[in-house]
Amino acid sequence: MIRAGTEEVLLDVIVRDKKGRPIHDLEADDIEVYEDGARQKVTAFRLVEGARQETEASEAEPALSAKTEQKHSDPTRQLRLVSLVFDSLNEEARRLARLAALEFLKNPLDQNAYIAVFTIDLRLNVLQQFTNDRDLLRKAIGTATTKQYTDFSAQSDAIRKELEDAEQDVNGAESASSPGRGNSSSGGIGSGMAAAAMASMTLNVLRNAETTTREQQARSAIFSLLSIIREQAALPGRKTVLYFCEGLAVPEATIEQFRSVISAANRANVSVYDVDARGLISDAQSKSSTAMLASAAKSSRRQQIYNNSVTVDQVKVFDTARDSIHADRQTALDDLSTSTGGFLIANTNDFRAPFRKLSE
């Protein structure tokens, strides 16, 4: 026997006019909801303007029944939860994230709005549980955005460039020593081939570690966000996650897990707003994907030019090219935000306008 069931889904909708102003006089007939191309029936539709308006309405109607009074006084009925989540950030990104988070706190919030502060550093940490005490929140934001991280990436990148140059130079020498090409310095060639083997080995160590690190970083962010989102599903009200990061690369191996975050957020009525804390950037946002694609092209070209044994990076050339598609660190952020009812805040150092819009 095959059992099928249906599930009612709550959609939190904010509708704006062409000038970005919220529209309050909509009716159920104005809304159409589709799933997989099929129109769904809207069973209930109501305007929610926040706890302050609800309190005013309850004060204007003192003759409510005991049951209705209990319903309006339920502290969880109109909760608005905001989770500030700070991923691992460099010094400049921490500064911008701190300014952005403090700017968000300046906006007026409903009396039933509670904010928590989390950090992600291979594990999820909570620095402040849900509270509306702005002093405690400022302190937690300061702690989350002042942690120091040691960065050896510049030094490692310089060494990697030397290894790639050495590998390419010796590949040419090895090709020259192949039968039919004539050679005059077998000792030098042998020494060069040993250097190539060591350079290739070190490069493969870096490449394998980079793949593992990308997947580890993606999983750390994905599962941390998933944990925050799933636990909020039990509470009603409007729920928001503000995710501060330096972009999010989602390798091929983690795409399904990434999709599960979007699905969980929609089921839990959680909107995710991603904040790219790199601020104003230009071509830097596609640097990683461009570098990966260039590496794949270089490996393929090297195998065509030099008739040598196939290296590990040449075997993985198609995997590298495929992963480069997902390496743009803003693509996944935009997908996560727009798919959950939020929006991406990126390429700006002025966060006032988007946070005012978010707080409405």
> What is the C-alpha to C-alpha distance for residues 192 and 183, in angstroms, rounded to an integer?
13
Which of the residue ranges 26-30, 33-37, 119-123, 168-172 would you say has the lowest mean pLDDT? Answer: 168-172
Reported as a single tens digit per residue, the pLDDT across 279-334 is 866 544 545 555 554 554 555 555 555 455 555 555 555 555 555 555 677 899 99
Instruction: Locate the domains of the chain by residue range.
Output: 80-148+213-286+325-359
CATH code linked to domain 80-148+213-286+325-359? 3.40.50.410
Alpha-helical runs (H) found in the chain: 51-60, 66-73, 91-105, 134-144, 153-176, 186-231, 255-267, 287-305, 312-315, 317-325, 331-338, 352-359
Closest by CA to 307, choosing from 179, 167, 164, 169, is: 179
Return the pLDDT at 94: 92
Q: CB pairs under 8 A, 24+ apart, for 313-319?
A: 313/203, 313/204, 313/207, 316/207, 319/252
**How does the average pLDDT of the chain come out, rounded?**
76
Return the pLDDT at 275: 95
In which band, very low, low, confident or very high, does the pLDDT at 155 lie, cut at 50, 70 and 90?
low
121-138 mean pLDDT: 90
Which of the residue ranges 35-39, 296-300, 349-353 would you say has the lowest mean pLDDT? Answer: 296-300
Return the pLDDT at 54: 44
Return the pLDDT at 79: 83
